[in-house]
Amino acid sequence: MIRAYKFLLRPTVGQAIALGEMLRDHCSLYNGALQERRDAYRHPSRVSIKYGMQPGQLKDIRAFDPEGQGRWSFSSQQATLRRLDKAFAAFFRRVKAGDKPGYPRFRGVTWFDTVDFPRDGDGCRWDSTPHDQVTRVRFQGVGHIKVNQHRPVVGTVRTVSVKREGRKWFVVLTTEQSLPEPLPPTGSDIGIDLGIASFLTDSNGTHIPNPRHARKAACKLEAAQRALSRFPRCRAKNRTRNHQRAVEKVGALHGKVRRRRLDHAHKTALTLVREHDFIAHEDLKIRNMSKAPAPKPDPDRPGVFLSNGAAAKAGLNRSIADAGWGVFLTILNAKAESAGREVMAVDPRNTSRTCPACGHTSKENRLTQEKFHCVDCGHQAHADEVGALNVLRAGLVRRDATTAQREAPPLGAGRSHDVEFADAHARSVPVVTLSGGRQ
């Protein structure tokens, strides 16, 4: 399996300047390669430049500018060109799919913060002084930099990246390692329902409060952004010292919120993975959930629009972004893989509208955010607990159907109707009996 490690660098003043120059030169290479592609396509011949054509020019570029581009690793420059090629590949994929294209843009000095080294030992060396008590990493053109290694690195180092965050520098390693020993089984299965009022509610009735890190830091962020707005918009090199301090303060506050959100997601996911063997969650389409509402033109008055609830939806979108569901689910899946646990996503439709006692599904079952009251049998419970319980049962049905498919012999066109029914039934919330058994 592949695992990433991120460590803080402790460069000297000269090394920090060299790292900044390395980022600046790689950014210039990225923008130059992008400009070449644009000019070639705008030419009447409509020449399409691919990745295989641009690295061949690196030798001449390095010879022409030995004190600039020639100082850095050839492999890292190839990785930068490959990064541009991936951006174009994603652009054409979105065009073909009919999505918003998002043509690759030129990168400013403050937008280009990472340089990749595809292989340890080629332009970089992790643990470059193995007999030294302090761990160091060496980059071509920079030297040996101290690393604040706060935990051991397991496995073989494959790639090394240097990253800038504000005024801090980090090294990111990817290692290849064998699968770790799975955690001992606990015999516990659980379903989770992600929300805004509570960050997470499980099928056992436990509510984990939403920390709302961005809302807590809103006052400080508002003051910092108001101070930043007093300065005119200009290029980074033209900023005054006070302007630069205002920019760094806003970035530091946002970084603090992001780290707190990551810390909460890691601790919550680790608790779930340690205590449960099987975890089911809703397959949320977060990007679709946070879209702005479409405008509503007034049919009687051309050029006039009716109220579409955009202000309320904007507040909900901020709360969804502040909760960080996508980050949490990514971390949960990674930790579950390392621990030998199983995580399964199920269809979220009607999970909070289906009665766990009688199986009746109706919009009237949930008239408020918290209360669930079945109009058929009268069952009452917390709406989030009902959703988590239905998610668990749908996950168990899907797990059983998947297991049956793996164990059943291949039937070709004559596939078993029971397996087909179980597979289709696993995509929806199961109907359950009053005793809790699945039907």
Per-residue model confidence as pLDDT tens digits over 323-371: 999 999 999 999 999 899 999 999 988 888 888 888 888 888 888 888 8
Q: Give pLDDT tens digits for 3-22.
A: 999 999 999 999 999 999 99
pLDDT band at 226 (very low <50, low <70, confident <90, very high): very high
pTM of the model as a whole: 0.83
Rounded mean pLDDT, 250-267: 94
CA pair distance 422, 299, nearest whole angstrom:
48
Is the Cβ–Cβ distance between 155 and 176 less than 8 Å? yes
d(CA 185, CA 343): 14
Confidence tier at 75 by pLDDT (50, 70, 90):
very high
pLDDT > 70 fraction of the chain, expressed in percent and rounded: 93
Over 60: is that where the pLDDT of 279 sits? yes
Q: How far is it, in rounded angstroms, from Cα 391 to Cα 350? A: 10
Q: Between the CA of residue 36 and those of 29, 56, 90, 236, what are the distances in Å?
A: 11, 14, 18, 25
Q: Give the pLDDT confidence of 139-173 residue by residue, as tens digits.
A: 999 999 999 999 999 999 999 999 999 889 999 99
Say if residues 123 and 132 touch (Cβ distance below 8 Å).
Answer: no
116 with 78: CB under 8 angstroms? no
Would you state the pLDDT for residue 411?
55
pLDDT bin (cut points 50, 70, 90) of residue 420 is very low
Query: Which pLDDT does position 427 carry in this prediction?
Result: 43
Q: What share of the chain is helix, strand, coil (3-state, %, to 5)?
A: 45, 20, 35
The pLDDT value recorded for residue 429 is: 41
What confidence score (pLDDT) does residue 269 get?
A: 95
Task: Taking residues 98-113, report their average pLDDT.
Answer: 90
Calculate the CA 341 to chain-centre distance. 21
CB-CB contact of 426 with 392 (8 Å):
no
Q: What is the pLDDT, as a whole number, of residue 188?
A: 93
How much is the pLDDT for 44?
Answer: 85
309 to 215, 285, 293, 313, 316: CA distances (angstroms): 21, 21, 7, 6, 11
Q: What is the largest CA-CA distance in the chain?
A: 81
pLDDT value at residue 352:
87
> Residue 170: its pLDDT value, please?
97
Q: What is the pLDDT of residue 412?
A: 53
Instruction: Output the pLDDT for position 418.
Output: 43
- The pLDDT of residue 433 is above 80: no
